[in-house]
Chain A
Amino acid sequence: MQITVTVNGTAYTRDVEARLLLIHFIRDELRLTGSHWGCDTSNCGACVVWLDGRPVKSCTVLAAMADGHQVRTVEDLARGAGLDPVQEGFARCHGLQCGFCTPGMMMTARWLLDHVPDPDEATIREAISGQICRCTGYENIVRSVRWAAEHEAAARAAESGSQP
């Protein structure tokens, strides 16, 4: 079947089997390999992308279900030369070691900060509770998200201060 999925603002039309999973469409058809294919059982969250603005485990969605819809992947976080504050937070606070869970963690973190700009530790831990990291013990991931929240709050304050 022919589907058209808009990924990171670009519409892609492909002939696919109805049984193709969204994660494989993104990685194998579009060669956007930032999103990781992990447990295959919707437990680990390495494959989290946004579908119509909401995080989803893309190993548990058919590409056909995204036909005519919007997908956002980790490749869309950095804009131009600058990293997204979430990416910068993960880099500064050592929010990753092996990096396998990182794309999914960052997509969920970005969504959280868009909806809850100043989350406390419990809120962050709840938000990422469906995603598994075997390296960091989550401590540094929480710090990374907090760093991004504080960085964005400071940027907003500076911006509103500069506009009388």
Chain B
Amino acid sequence: MQVPAHVEYERAASVEHALALLARFGPEARILAGGHSLIPMMKLRLAQPEVLVDINGLAELGYLRLDGAELAIGALTRHAELLSSELAAAHFPILTDAEKVIADPVVRNWGTIGGSLCQADPSEDLSAAFAALKATMVIRSPDGTRTVPAREFHTGPYETVVAPGELLTEIRIAVRPGGGSSYVKVGRRVGDWPVGAAGAALWLDGGVIGAAGVGLTAVGARNFAAAEAEEFLSGARPGPDTFRRAGEIAAEHCRPVPDQRGPAAYKRHLACELTARALSRALDRAPQAADGAAPGRAG
């Protein structure tokens, strides 16, 4: 029988109240959102907080909306809500792709976006998707609000820049025209972490790639991103050869760790192959492709 160790429980009535509770109880307090990462960790004694601050009642943190030229996602948004969001699907189908393969439908009902990110598992899917989209994390503390680029959010496995006393409240993604995005994952079965997964976002500028984002998870990519592949893609003409080469570059810079999900060589293979596939699907979804302009045609 697996049960968490003794713990105190506090329920936050507002973001300010949550921050006050965190301040009062100090570094041994943990935020409890959906609990679908934290409670399993507590059962295993891999996490042993003294106080849980339950934020499930904070409806103010559960939303998806356009805010100026950005998509804003509240940290308490459930995975199922992101999966079914037409707004997210219209602007960033990479998020819909990723949500389809995160955990299982029942877990997605309660697990939250912010909880997944703060758990900071090195195989977590949205970390790669938000890295590809170059999202911004919004973090609140009693002193105010600060923002951190998605690629600087994680400081290591299961570690983030969110300090004791702080709360991740929102994820923001710039909406820019001419973009397409996708996410591709290889997993052993429903509900398992990926063996490897890649997300890609492309913004076309005439016949060439104006900007590219490539995110990778479970394959030991630094900051869940493939910066060298992005550099190669910038200004290149989109197409199978370009995407294949980008995949090779991404794989070269990964440091996959062999485990029960597969050997390092296979994970490196996946990093290459899935990067190429994600880029190809992202291109298919970019408006220029839909308009019939052939990739590579002078624009």
Contact = CB atoms under 8 A, between A and B. Distances in A.
A55 B2 contact: no
A51 B34 CA distance: 12
Given A62-B39, A65-B54, A129 B104 contact: yes
A24 B2 CA distance: 11
Contact of A19 (B3, B54, B105, B106): B3
B40 A18 contact: no
Nearest to A127: B105
Contacts of B104: 45, 129-131
Measured as residues with beta carbon below 8 angstroms from the partner, the interface class of chain A is: 20 to 34
A129 B110 CA distance: 16
B191 interface: yes
B1 A56 contact: no
Interface residues on B, range: 20 to 34
Nearest to B78: A54
B9 A41 contact: no
Given A60-B40, A108-B106, A130-B104, A18 B7 contact: yes
Contacts of A21: 3-4, 39
Interface of A: 1, 17-21, 24, 40-43, 45, 48, 51, 54-57, 60-62, 64-65, 67, 108, 126-127, 129-131
The 9 closest A-B pairs by CB, nearest first: A130-B104, A18-B9, A129-B190, A19-B4, A40-B2, A54-B109, A130-B106, A64-B9, A55-B106
18 contacts: A1-B9, A18-B9, A20-B3, A40-B43, A41-B43, A42-B40, A45-B104, A54-B80, A60-B110, A61-B39, A62-B35, A64-B9, A65-B32, A65-B54, A127-B105, A129-B190, A130-B190, A131-B106
Contacts of B52: 18, 62
Contacts of A127: 105
B109 A55 contact: yes
B62 to A, nearest CB: 13
A15 to B, nearest CB: 13
